[in-house]
Amino acid sequence: MKAHRAILIRLPRDRCNVDYIKRLTALTSLAYRGFEVWVPDLPKTIQHHLYGFRNFKGSLVFGTVPKRWFASTWVPLKTLRFYPDGSRKGGRYAPVVLDFKSSAIKLYQVCRNERGYVVEVPMPRWVVDRLSEGGDVKYAMIGLKDDEPYLALIAEREVEPYIPSDYMLAIDVNAWNNGIAWGLIKSSKLVKWKPERPRLREIDGLYYRSVVLSQKYGKLKRLGLHKTKEGKGLWREVRRLRRRIYAKLRDYAQRLAHRLVRKALRHRALVIIDDIIEESRRELLEGKLPSGLRKIYLAETRRFVKLLIAQLEWYGVPYRFKRLPSTICPICHHELTQLPGRIMVCGNCGFKAPRDKVPMYWVLKLRCKMIEPEDEDCPHR
């Protein structure tokens, strides 16, 4: 099967004409709907390139068809790759050139409407790593994110999932305040279990600091003074703190996904994922936390799952999605009661475990059914 991974590279705004990129994205949006619009003052080579993607609706580079007419749509680009040994791959007139000799990426006429205009950016280590793993960057996209120009590189690789060993890696996705719990299972034993969470004290500190500054800004706004130097400074600081919070969560999600995939590869494990976070939402509401903090605790959890799946598929790690409830007893299927300290206990059979550890017992039970269907002595049946 084909596996894909992608990376976003921020382009220098002073060298990229944002309005020109918006025009290209508008043409791409029309191309989604089967229209061909030839604009007299745009380079013909770029327009020929755009409409060269005849299978755009089902291709990776176009992705999902936008549901709105004026939706922002990234522009698909083919690449030409020059390798250190002198060989090359890709279209001769591709607008994106990956030069592995000089470790540079060159973009031709996609950043500004000038004949022969080139923007050169350093090649990230990510591209070299994907190449060393047998991947190839055949496609790219250019577009705007928060009104800033970005280049997306898409690596493609043919891979077949390996046959799992007797290890299983269970991953239970929760809100960040409770952590993303994982458990390594060998045969019918839980070898290791751990809930992973970011530095919540630091995240909470940044959030409450932004709340205080937002309240000060709100007072100035009610007085009509929010346009003053002090008001503008407060608003800039609030936005900076919020960006910092989400940047920390994005970075943590990326690193955690990478570590878990490496762990699965090291043990050649089958990965079981429970990404249902409705329980986490209900628990956050019951905890009477501020709405802003609830949003932060759930932020980037979906992105974590997407990153995890992309890397699992890239390395050929087999995985499955399974519902792993933390409020139902894995032994007798009765509802569990939560004690102080997030300890779950069953009033029917006496089962007792930390709430984040309960899903691991469900995977142990699943292991008995999948791997040892004839073993009637399995303790987790």
The answer to whether residues 182 and 49 touch, using CB atoms and an 8 Å cutoff, is: no
The lowest-confidence range among 63-67, 91-95, 162-166, 178-182 is: 63-67
Query: For the packed helices 18-32 and 44-51, what is the interaxial angle rounded to 10 degrees?
Result: 30
3-state secondary structure of 24: helix
Share of the chain above pLDDT 90, in %: 46
Q: Which amino acid is at 202?
A: E
Q: What whole-number distance in Å separates Cα of residue 68 and Cα of residue 294?
A: 30
Which residue in the block uniquely carries the two structure tokens 């002198």?
A: 86
Nearest partner of 108 among 43, 36, 28, 25, judged by Cα: 43
Structural domains for the chain: 2-158 (no CATH), 167-196+250-371 (3.30.420)
Q: Which letter, b or e, does each residue of 133-160 get, where b requires 16 or more Cβ atoms within 10 Å of its Cβ?
A: eebbbbbbbbbbeeeebbbbbbbbbebe
- Give the tens place of pLDDT for each residue, 3-59: 889 999 999 999 999 999 999 988 888 887 778 888 888 888 888 888 776 555 455
Which residues, 6 or more positions from 97, have their beta carbon under 8 angstroms from its beta carbon? 79, 80, 81, 82, 105, 106, 107, 108
pLDDT of residue 60: 46
Mean pLDDT of 120-132: 93
**Averaged over 151-158, what is the pLDDT?**
92
What is the average per-residue pLDDT within 271-297?
74
Give me the mean pLDDT over the 282-311 stretch.
81
Model confidence at 314: pLDDT above 60: yes
For range 257-267, the mean pLDDT = 95
Question: What are the tens digits of pLDDT across the range 233-249?
Answer: 999 999 999 999 999 99
Taking the C-alpha atoms of residue 168 and residue 295, their distance in angstroms, rounded to an integer, is: 31
Q: Which of 51-60, 65-74, 177-186, 269-278 has the lowest mean pLDDT?
A: 51-60
pLDDT at 52 (0 to 100): 76
How confident is the model at residue 283, as a pLDDT? 64
Nearest to 175 by CA among 79, 277, 255: 277
pLDDT at position 35, please?
A: 82
Choice between 275 and 12, residue whose per-residue pLDDT is larger = 12
The whole-angstrom separation of Cα 261 and Cα 172 is 14
Q: Please determine, for residue 321, whether its predicted confidence score (pLDDT) is greater than 60.
A: yes
- What is the reported pLDDT for 355? 87
pLDDT at 155: 92
Q: Is the pLDDT of residue 381 over 80?
A: no
Q: Bigger pLDDT: 153 or 58? A: 153
Distance in angstroms (rounded) separating the CA atoms of residues 187 and 109:
57
pTM, to two decimals: 0.84
Token pair of 299 as six digits:
């932020």
Strands 136-145 and 180-186: unpaired
Residue with tokens 């390594």: 184
**Exposure string (b/e) for 221-241, b if CB count within 10 Å is 16 or more?**
eeeeebeeeebeebbebbeeb
Q: What is the pLDDT of residue 144?
A: 92
Average pLDDT, the chain: 86
Cβ atoms 362, 330 nearer than 8 A: yes
Rounded to an integer, the average pLDDT of 204-214 is: 93
| pLDDT tens string 63-106 | 556 667 777 788 888 899 998 888 999 888 889 999 998 999 99
Beta strands at 136-145 and 118-122: parallel, antiparallel or unpaired? unpaired
Q: Is the pLDDT of residue 180 over 50?
A: yes
Angle at 151 between CA 301 and CA 48, to 5 degrees: 130
> What pLDDT band is residue 278 in, cutting at 50, 70 and 90?
low
pLDDT score at 371: 56
Reference 74, options 53, 88, 97; nearest CA is 53
pLDDT band at residue 171 under the 50/70/90 scheme: very high
Question: Average pLDDT of 359-379?
Answer: 69
